[in-house]
Structure 1
Amino acid sequence: MRELPRKAKAVVVGGSIAGLSCAHALIAAGWEVVVLEKTGAPRAGCATGAGLGLDPLAQKILRSWLKQPGILELNTVPLTIDQNEATDGNKNRVLTRDENLNFRAAHWSDLHSLLHEALPAQTVCWGQMFLTFCISEDRTHVEVKSKAVQTGDITNIVGDLLVAADGCLSPIRQSFLPDFKLRYSGYCAWRGVLDFSDEENSDTILALKKPYPDLGKCLYFTLGQGTHTVLYELLNKRINWLWYVNQPEPELKGSSVTITVSDDMVEKMHEAAEKNWVPELVKVMRETEQPFLNVIYDGEPLDRIVWDNVALIGDAAHPTTPHGLRSTNMSILDAAVLGKCLEKWGVENLNSALQEYQSIRLPIAREQVLYSRRLGRIKQGLDLPDRKVFVPVTAREEDCEELQQKAMPSLNEIPSILVAER
């Protein structure tokens, strides 16, 4: 009897959207996948995920994984307008308006749930904390050690490939690049989601629609002097908002870039908001329960994202600031490209597959990370070597061209290896 070919196995560290996307892409390529995630259960309703925007290519890739027709559309909101505007704190003035955005807005936990529910049962090992890994001397396999958070039991998993989807503070990346440090952007972001499903016609929501009349289809960027906000609607009557504040780098505790905030910090934020934003937006911020604070980092683009049997994807491969809406979209595209490269080359040519993955993703990731950084500095009124500090209230049309999402490099570029996905 002829022996069937061995099924290749991948161990993915990190069960966020990047890790689950990788699981989908590799399973579609014919691989066995185990995802290790330290969280004890799926993070449904997780506040700190907040909102995200999915570009057209990411939407196509997600539909191919989710299979169920229309499920993505049922769980997201169309964003057809990209609008940048200036404010003096009393009224807003339009700077740019693009009515062909073609993004979709999702809540992090909604997208995460969709991806998780579409995976085969037992793909994700919840409550497993990654400890260490080692590559065999002959470079044919990798052994990953994890610990059960609840019991302390140690598990060893042997696979052909280790995928680091373990975020911007990736310990796996650090094992190869011990001198790599995240770069503080110069600002932090207050974030929150206001649920108005029980008060759809509340005074707050009705008032908000006056300065923001296209809520439900528009991605609003409102720029003040040295600061800006982002505002858009999510599914199920929720308003997602962010406010970027220039400040010295806070001290982080633990392995998260989210800061636990006190009632006093929140009240000071509310008071400062009254000096910067129209009253309707301030009221939304005041009525939002449990706003939180993210420290905004990125990293200098890497020269490589693969080593032997190890590949980086998502924020582990390219930490980025959020202004170009790239983090989730790049993670999904990383996963799709990696899966197609593995399918093309097979496990017996793993090195060639990983080298092609790296050659496809590195140049575009570099461009987009640096442009997102530039976009953040422009909108925050920070110095750039090749242009004057951006002043929204006096900005001319030619000063505003870079503000639009469509200016992102390679935004509509589809890697040739994914052409069959079109």
Structure 2
Amino acid sequence: MTDKKRSKAIIVGGSIAGVSCARTLISAGWDVVVLEKSYAPPTGSPTGAGLGLDPSSQHLIHTWTNQPQLLHNSTLPLTIDQNQATDSEKKVSWTLTRDDEYNFRAAYWADLHGIVYKDLPSEIFFWGHLFLSFSISSDKKSVKVKAKNRQTEDTIEMVGDLLVAADGCLSVFRLSFLPELKLRYSGYCAWRGILDFSGNENSDTIIGIRKAYPELGKCLYFELGSGTHAVIYELPQKKLNWVWYINQPEPQLKGKSVTMKVSNDMIQKMHQEAEKTWGPALVKVIQETFKPFVNVIYDIDPLKRLVWDNVVLVGDAAHPTTPHGLRSTNMSLLDAAVLGGCLDKWGVDRLESALEEYQSIRLPVVSKQVLHSRRMGRIKQGLDLEDRQPFDPRTASSKECEELQQKNMPFFAADVPFFAG
């Protein structure tokens, strides 16, 4: 990098997208600062924060750390993608489709964040700093960012060559460039939770769930009912992650979050509905989960661009997506890898070319993945689609069931592009 001018990037957002970009931009020879409103990096394993890492993301993380065993030791294999149906009256299940070559790994969000964050210079992170505003210079060569220290209330200013917007699905940067573009409600919400069964490995609940789902620990189970579906898989440290999607009108959210506060009455009603919908083993897991919560499921119509002058969107700021293709974290990691590669290739003197190439590589991929994930969600929820009747697991043909498989996701395997051409 000695023949290239060193340049500075300001990354707003210290989530996985932000810290991944910090890592790849530093590797490309850039000076980096990261602004994050949270007071410290996440620790432990927050409830409801399970995710699946695809092979491309696993490979990237192995190349980013000098301790590749960290990922293996902190994840569990997801080698099977299985969709099955439940008859809510008879409480019996049957397999709709199965893929034994899935090759994902199950992780906690906080654990993955820790692996990517590990060994990055501590001085580049401004924890507890709330983004306030930004401005692009008249010559489009620099960007100024203002942020407030949440502890001291002091305002700071930073100037950089590039601003990386990694501020999530409610991105203020996307809103500033596209004020008319709104999040699109999917038509359903998700109850989520994690059951910690450490110390209770031989309880009736765990014996029952392992009997009903015998390949927990290596299988991603999708359970489909009539107009609803659920997901269950095992996470490290003796925990089960479950999600249950329910069709309903869009709730009114308060504050800047897609997570709803739930009351004890709401939880009790949810437990009663679970008894009507799912088999007893899954019902027990749901009922014994401490503090389940609700996510309102949104995505956004694919953007026509990801770059404005020297501001670039990455992660959920660039492509909010429904969770059915396990894309959100994987897309964020790929965004960071491609952005870092393009900046390394072109250098600061050709920043415009670097950002254009990033956009040309990632935009077609994430656009197709967002739309496919949307379609998968609507199929599994039994919602209307223009080209087919609502999916009914009781009557679906084998061809219709094939659409449920994760491997149908565009750019699912090794064909995901990292470079132009």
Percent identical among aligned pairs is 63
The residue that corresponds to 1:311 in the other structure is: 312
The residue that corresponds to 2:65 in the other structure is: 66
Deviation at 1:273, TM superposition (A): 0.5
Q: Secondary structure at the match of 1:400?
A: helix
The residue that corresponds to 2:168 in the other structure is: 167
CA distance in 1, matches of 2:128, 2:200: 37
> Are residues 1:100 and 2:101 paired?
yes
CA deviation vs aligned residue, 1:104-124 (integer Å, no higher than 9, x gap): 000111111222223122222
The residue that corresponds to 2:357 in the other structure is: 356
Structure 2 counterpart of 1:329, which letter?
N
The residue that corresponds to 1:415 in the other structure is: 417
CA deviation vs aligned residue, 1:239-282 (integer Å, no higher than 9, x gap): 00000000010111111101111111111111110000011111
Deviation at 1:379, TM superposition (A): 0.2
Within-5 A mapping of 1:165-244? 165-244=166-245
Structure 1 counterpart of 2:26, which letter?
I
Q: Secondary structure at the match of 2:281?
A: helix
Deviation at 1:67, TM superposition (A): 2.1
CA distance in 1, matches of 2:405, 2:182: 29
Deviation at 1:5, TM superposition (A): 5.3
Within-5 A mapping of 1:265-414? 265-412=266-413, 413-414=415-416
CA deviation vs aligned residue, 1:102-151 (integer Å, no higher than 9, x gap): 00000111111222223122222110001100111111111110001122
The residue that corresponds to 1:35 in the other structure is: 34
Deviation at 1:45, TM superposition (A): 3.0
Contact 2:361 2:419 in 1 (8 A): no
Structure 2 counterpart of 1:111, which letter?
L
Structure 1 unpaired stretches of 5+? none
> Are residues 1:122 and 2:123 paired?
yes
Structure 1 counterpart of 2:107, which letter?
A
CA deviation vs aligned residue, 1:321-340 (integer Å, no higher than 9, x gap): 00011111001000100000
CA distance in 2, matches of 1:342, 1:21: 14
Deviation at 1:234, TM superposition (A): 0.4
CA distance in 2, matches of 1:57, 1:211: 31
CA distance in 1, matches of 2:405, 2:107: 20
Deviation at 1:50, TM superposition (A): 1.3
Deviation at 1:4, TM superposition (A): 7.9
Deviation at 1:28, TM superposition (A): 1.2
Deviation at 1:47, TM superposition (A): 2.7
Structure 1 counterpart of 2:33, which letter?
V
Deviation at 1:200, TM superposition (A): 1.4
Structure 2 counterpart of 1:147, which letter?
K
CA distance in 1, matches of 2:353, 2:48: 35
The residue that corresponds to 1:79 in the other structure is: 78
CA distance in 2, matches of 1:28, 1:418: 20
CA distance in 2, matches of 1:183, 1:58: 27
TM-align CA RMSD: 1.4
The residue that corresponds to 1:44 in the other structure is: 43
CA deviation vs aligned residue, 1:333-390 (integer Å, no higher than 9, x gap): 0010000000000011000000000000011111100000000000000000101110
Structure 1 counterpart of 2:321, which letter?
T
Deviation at 1:69, TM superposition (A): 2.6
CA distance in 1, matches of 2:44, 2:189: 23
Contact 1:65 1:118 in 2 (8 A): no
Deviation at 1:62, TM superposition (A): 1.1
CA deviation vs aligned residue, 1:380-407 (integer Å, no higher than 9, x gap): 0000010111001222211111100001
Deviation at 1:418, TM superposition (A): 9.1
The residue that corresponds to 2:56 in the other structure is: 57
Structure 2 counterpart of 1:25, which letter?
T
CA distance in 2, matches of 1:276, 1:79: 26
CA distance in 2, matches of 1:265, 1:190: 11
Q: Normalising by structure 2, what TM-score?
A: 0.97
The residue that corresponds to 1:133 in the other structure is: 134
Contact 1:48 1:292 in 2 (8 A): no
Structure 2 counterpart of 1:53, which letter?
G
Q: Secondary structure at the match of 2:123?
A: coil
Contact 2:45 2:108 in 1 (8 A): no
Q: Normalising by structure 1, what TM-score?
A: 0.97
CA deviation vs aligned residue, 1:34-56 (integer Å, no higher than 9, x gap): 11110111222353551000000
Q: 1:48 to 1:8 in 2, by over 3 A?
A: farther
**Residues paired across the two proteins, number:** 417
The residue that corresponds to 1:9 in the other structure is: 8
Moved more, 210-219 or 110-119: 110-119
Moved more, 337-346 or 403-412: 403-412
CA distance in 2, matches of 1:183, 1:384: 16
CA distance in 2, matches of 1:385, 1:210: 39
Structure 2 unpaired stretches of 5+? none
